[in-house]
Amino acid sequence: MLKFAIASEGETDQAVIKNILNGFYKDNDLSGEIKAFQPLYDATRNKELEKEFGGWEILLKYLGEKRFRENVINSEYMIVQLDTDISEHTNFGVSQHDVSTQELIEKVIERLIFQIDSKKSFYNQHKEKIIFAISVHSLECWILPLYKKDLKTEKVTGCYESLQRESKKIKVSKNYNVYNKLSTPLSKNKKLMEIVSKNVSFGVFIAGLPSEI
């Protein structure tokens, strides 16, 4: 059985999560044990499979489908990733007004669980296998401390643009290989744990991972 399945907004998120998992489980060889199911990614051609698309609305649709339920059943763990920058969109409906980071994450997770159960009750029976990676407000905010060394307070907005400015050796663009390079330091446990402490939502994700696999 596959160890980790990933359902995310896009392929760049998958690259980051894979490096995080390799760093966190430093004593485990996860080669061939992590697979992205949404959007499907063709490692041979380094691109999303044809006719398979990313985006948060496509992710929501997938969570309510039979395909998602089958992927959960056939994997030990399913990681569901979403950026909160879209939470107030009409089709998502989670307000960011007057809530803490932890409260926002909890509300977004509630919305995702609602989507999972939209066609068939499923979550409660399999909740031990489903791990949420909710990045406030984007996954770039998890990576940014690797490149902005003088970051004194947590940054949760404008992280993509900041990453573009701060990354001197890697030209930042929305590409799997670029994000794999950007997040490669996180595949080392020491660096991973150092960076986690600089972002609340990153820490929440790490705390939710099983300690042993």
pLDDT of 45 strictly over 80:
no
pLDDT tier, 54 (very low <50, low <70, confident <90, very high otherwise): confident
User: Residue 50's pLDDT is what?
Assistant: 44
**163, two tokens:** 């990453």
pLDDT of 99 strictly over 60:
yes
pLDDT of 52 strictly over 80:
no
* CA distances in angstroms from 210 to 70, 101, 194, listed in the order given: 21, 22, 19
Boundaries of every domain in the chain = 2-208
* 3 state SS for the chain: CEEEEEECCCHHHHHHHHHHHHHHCCCCCCCCCEEEEECEEECCCCEECCCCCCCHHHHHHHHCCHHHHHHHHCEEEEEEEEEHHHCCCCCCCCCCCCCCHHHHHHHHHHHHHHHHCCCCCCHHHHHHHEEEEEECCCCHHHHHHHCCCCCCCCCCCCHHHHHHHHCCCCCCCCCHHHHHHHHHHHHCHHHHHHHHCCCHHHHHHHHHCCCCC
User: Residue 53's pLDDT is what?
Assistant: 54
User: Residue 93's pLDDT is what?
Assistant: 97
Dihedral sign of CA atoms 196, 201, 207, 212 in order: negative
pLDDT of 16 strictly over 50:
yes
pLDDT of 48 strictly over 80:
no
Average pLDDT, the chain: 94
Write the pLDDT tens digit of every residue in 56-67. Answer: 999 999 999 999
**What gap in Å lies between CA 91 and CA 18, rounded to an integer?**
29
